[in-house]
Chain A
């Protein structure tokens, strides 16, 4: 019976091969296959994509169930309804190319369907599926492992030089033991995996395995990185190859934090319009902030004042034992500028072998009285003489 069937199919196959495939639709897809297959028959496209008819049903809706396997892709079962249309059922291959399945007609034990895809693809083989090997819904018990892998990272953000712990949770949802499990884990350039296995022990049906390794961030520039999916390749007890993959993860790598104190010094002169009156007192506020991430040691402040600027009150060069990160010290000094002109006050803060400087400048002006002091002095005798003259003139005016 099978021999006859094979003969018929072969004849039909030769006929089909000799018949050029025509693009049937208005779009750019090319019909790689457009014919009828019986249940448990399959075709191979480009030697790597296997499409097998698993089941056909006409009631309530006409449909056919296909098993599709391809390189580096797990097995997939697709049910295609006659009404779905040519573009409804897509299958993406490992290379990224897609093919589409479209059921034209469903019969009692066969289905007419089309496979469209890249124009240079061809059907490279027709074969019959041994119900025992083809899996699917055969009456005999077939053990098929089905591994589901989930990858998690203990932290989503990791500093340079630190380590992230990566954990795989692998669960066998199939009914067969998965063996020869190979774990293909991608990595980030500059990061090194410590204790990451490449093979795993067999996982029985329903069992769950957890595997961890340390991802050490050694020489990776700070930024956001995507950790590509982990690929699991395994085989069933019958030797059939399968694969599954995890979802991708995002890992943020931040710059390595160096613990060191960092001091900033700031001078604020309290004056109107930055103008100081010569001889008058003015306040200068000095604030030292620890903007670093470590507590400082002993801190010394050293001032550099112009010759004609003197301290009138307060300690200008204090010493502090330490300043905690985020904390600050502030003090106020009263000064007097004696000469007019531009003045610059410079102050250094010294800690460990580091130092920071700040300067503030201001204008000193003579007061209104000082400015005209000479003129007033000169005017006084003139005014007195004038007053005297006026007095004398009045005394002699009749």
Chain B
């Protein structure tokens, strides 16, 4: 059985982690935690880490003992510089709390790239975890709505850069801006994004920990995540029983099923397909044939087939060779930074001019 650690850092990471814990109750509603127990598909330990205690209090399905407050008043206010300092100051505490959970084969770090705590802690955590554990580390980085502001954009830009520099086994992107169009209001969008991310992660964990008809494992995951620039995303499709397994597999490649906007066929480097469903829906020959067809376009495609009651479901995990959306995001971030810089200089100049009015004057009482 795989030992898996899921860390939710910052407000966004905490909420996705809470959704994972909620899904572990089988999605039985708000009161499931009072009469049911979490059933993870593997030995999963979860820790929600945050400097903002109110964010931790707002969690519903995460055990109190699995919520770790890094003592720094109420958050770092989206200031990554401050966040890094706080992490350094509390590194021992954070690593000690993780160490209590034992050893791990796979560690997921879920964080928003735009916030303070998560975006500043995540790269440093990757560094520390790599040093402390012989485990694969996959970061799930959530990109912000573009209209959230310049700080969010610059945090995202520097966070992703630092994450890549720390070389985790992979970074899976979840783009709020992209997923927003599939939800209604902001609140619904957040809830849906969190739940979708949580379900796909649990699907992946279940697949990695199960005996499959066609096997894919942690090694395959490592290989897939090493593909391209080490950044990828996840797609998902569930058959309505009328579809062939091929249609289901191809459905998971559709933009509507992805967590980040990408053209898998042109930008994909490596892929892993996990196909789950009743045996009657799983035509292995067709699966093999479809995989072969995809391999000519996407490159190496690993597959795993998990026989389980229900309609056919496919989780696709990609790494990308190129990420145009990321280019656009960095361009926006650069503009935002420059604009912020110019505005700040103008403000300073204006303030200096104002102060100049009273230069050489003394207050008279």
Residues of A with Cβ closer than 8 Å to B?
Answer: 388-389, 392-398
Quick check: A388 and B34 within 8 Å, CB to CB? yes
Please judge, given known A-B contacts A397-B64, A398-B64, A398-B67, whether A392 and B33 are in contact too, CB under 8 Å: yes
Per the bound structure, the CA–CA distance linking A254 and B34 in Å amounts to 93
Of B34, B56, B63, which is within 8 A of A389 by CB? B34
Binding site for A on B (CB under 8 A): 33-34, 56-57, 59-65, 67
Which residues of the partner chain B approach A396 to less than 8 Å between Cβ atoms? Answer: 33, 60-64
Which residues of chain A are within 8 angstroms of B63 by Cβ–Cβ distance? 395-396
**In the assembly, what is the distance between CA of A396 and CA of B36, in Å?**
13
Cβ contacts under 8 Å, A395 to chain B: 63-65
Report B15 CB to chain A, min CB distance, Å. Answer: 14
Residue from the list A388, A389, A394 in contact with B64, Cβ < 8 A: A394
Instruction: Name, among B34, B63, B64, the residue most crowded by chain A CB atoms within 10 Å (CB to CB).
Output: B34
Q: Which residues of B contact A394 (CB under 8 A)?
A: 64
Asked if A398 contacts B60 (CB within 8 A), the reply is: no
Query: B60: shortest Cβ distance to chain A, in Å?
Result: 7
Cross-chain pairs A/B with CB under 8 angstroms, 20 sampled: A388-B34, A389-B34, A392-B33, A392-B34, A394-B64, A395-B63, A395-B64, A395-B65, A396-B33, A396-B60, A396-B61, A396-B62, A396-B63, A396-B64, A397-B64, A398-B56, A398-B57, A398-B59, A398-B64, A398-B67
Which of chain A's residues have a CB closer than 8 A to the CB of B34? 388-389, 392-393
Complexed CA–CA distance, A397 and B33 (Å): 12
A392, B63: Cα distance in complex, Å: 9
Closest-CB distance, A373 to chain B (whole angstroms): 27
CA distance A142 to B31 in the complex (A): 144
Residue of A with least CB distance to B64: A398
Q: What is the CA–CA distance of A396 and B61 in the complex, to the nearest angstrom?
A: 7
What is the chain A residue whose CB lies nearest that of B57? Answer: A398
Bound complex: CA A398 to CA B53 (Å): 9
Instruction: Tell me which residues across on chain B come within 8 A of A397, comparing CB atoms.
Output: 64
Question: How many angstroms between the C-alpha atoms of A398 and B67 in the bound complex?
Answer: 8
New A-B pairs, 15, CB < 8 Å, besides A394-B64, A396-B63, A398-B56: A388-B34, A389-B34, A392-B33, A393-B34, A395-B64, A395-B65, A396-B33, A396-B60, A396-B61, A396-B62, A396-B64, A397-B64, A398-B57, A398-B59, A398-B67
Which 3 A-B pairs give the minimum distances between C-beta atoms? A398-B64, A398-B67, A392-B34
A392 smallest CB distance to B (angstroms): 5
Docked complex Cα distance between A388 and B60 (Å): 17
Cβ distance B322 to chain A, nearest Cβ, rounded Å: 42
Give the distance to chain A from B306, nearest Cβ to Cβ, in Å. 31
Distance (whole angstroms) from the CB of A223 to the closest CB of chain B:
95
Which A residues are in CB contact (< 8 Å) with B33?
392, 396
- With a cutoff of 8 Å between Cβ atoms, the chain A residues found around residue B65 in the complex are 395
Q: Which residue of A lies closest to B56 (CB)?
A: A398
Query: Which residue of B has the minimal Cβ distance to A389?
Result: B34
Assembly CA distance A388 to B34 (angstroms):
8
Closest to A391 in B: B34
Chain B residues with Cβ under 8 A from A398's Cβ?
Answer: 56-57, 59, 64, 67
For the complex, give the distance between the alpha carbons of A389 and B35 in Å: 8
B58's nearest neighbour on chain A, judged by CB, is: A398
CA distance A394 to B56 in the complex (A): 14
Cα–Cα distance between A397 and B34 once the two chains are bound (Å):
12
Q: Which of chain A's residues have a CB closer than 8 A to the CB of B56?
A: 398
- With a cutoff of 8 Å between Cβ atoms, the chain B residues found around residue A388 in the complex are 34
